[in-house]
Structure 1
Amino acid sequence: MRPEKDRQSGKEGESVTLSCKYSTNSDYIVLYWYRQNLNQAPQYLLYKGARSSSSVEHSTSKRFKCTTSRDSTQLTIEALTMSDTAIYYCALRVAQ
């Protein structure tokens, strides 16, 4: 997996969308998003299934929305706050 951009920014109260590209032959995949604030452990935000697993999803906040396509996933963070300043990670798991 790889991010489409190294850095992104937004203004407080607005929304921002982060995107990752991925490549796999599996039709049963789940995509995860995490964030890591300075000097803290990574924090789970959400997961969403893609392809044949598209009905699978969970989010820790209504502010975090995820969309997926055949080769990418997007995380939209709504109503930005300063605490959203972090490093964001996307990850892929092949579901069984």
Structure 2
Amino acid sequence: MFTGIFMCLWLSLGDSIADSIEPLFTHKHVDEGETVTLTCRYNISDPNTYLHWYRQPPKSKPVFLLYIHQSTKFKSDIPPRLDVDVDKNKKRVDLIISSAAVSDSDLYYCALAPTVTGNPAALYKNPF
């Protein structure tokens, strides 16, 4: 029997001191095949704020998974069993992983970002 361990951290990129996002837990244990919901609570002053999820494999950089902006979802090239849901009344954003697998055991980040221009999926390359 496999028990997956999911860790959840946060990153706040909002443009207001009042903007914040934080996980409701720091670790979550699930059995393989179960559905796991990673939840973050947020407080934003601008309704145009994007709510993001990232995943960080061991000894690697964080990888963008998806974001939700109002009711629009944008997913990178991720399995369809990963989804996002927002409860605006409870100010919660959930990353839902159905049929959890051993390969899902990673560090996950929830993050805020203000409105962006251009392609949010494009990677920034430092010219220096």
Q: Shorter-chain TM-score: which interval?
A: 0.7 to 0.9
Letter in 2 for 1:27: P
In structure 2, what is the Cα distance between the partners aligned to 1:88 and 1:72? 16
In structure 2, what is the Cα distance between the partners aligned to 1:43 and 1:82? 18
Q: Partner of 1:74 in structure 2?
A: 94
Q: Partner of 2:82 in structure 1?
A: 64
What CA RMSD, in Å, does the superposition of the two structures yield over aligned residues? 1.3
In structure 1, what is the Cα distance between the partners aligned to 2:49 and 2:82? 19
Q: Partner of 1:89 in structure 2?
A: 109
| 8 Å Cα contact 1:34-1:44 kept in structure 2 | yes
2:36 to 7, 10, 16: 16
Matches within 5 A, 1:17-36: 17-36=37-56
**TM-score (normalised: structure 1):** 0.87
2:20 aligned with 1:4: no
Letter in 2 for 1:30: Y
List gaps (5 residues or longer) in structure 2.
1-20, 117-128
Secondary structure of the residue that 1:34 maps to in structure 2? strand
In structure 2, what is the Cα distance between the partners aligned to 1:77 and 1:42? 17
- CA drift of 1:63 comes to 1.1
- CA drift of 1:10 comes to 1.1
Q: Which runs of structure 1 show a deviation greater than 6 angstroms over 4 or more consecutive aligned residues?
A: none
What percent of counterpart residues are identical? 32
**TM-score (normalised: structure 2):** 0.67
- CA drift of 1:69 comes to 2.1
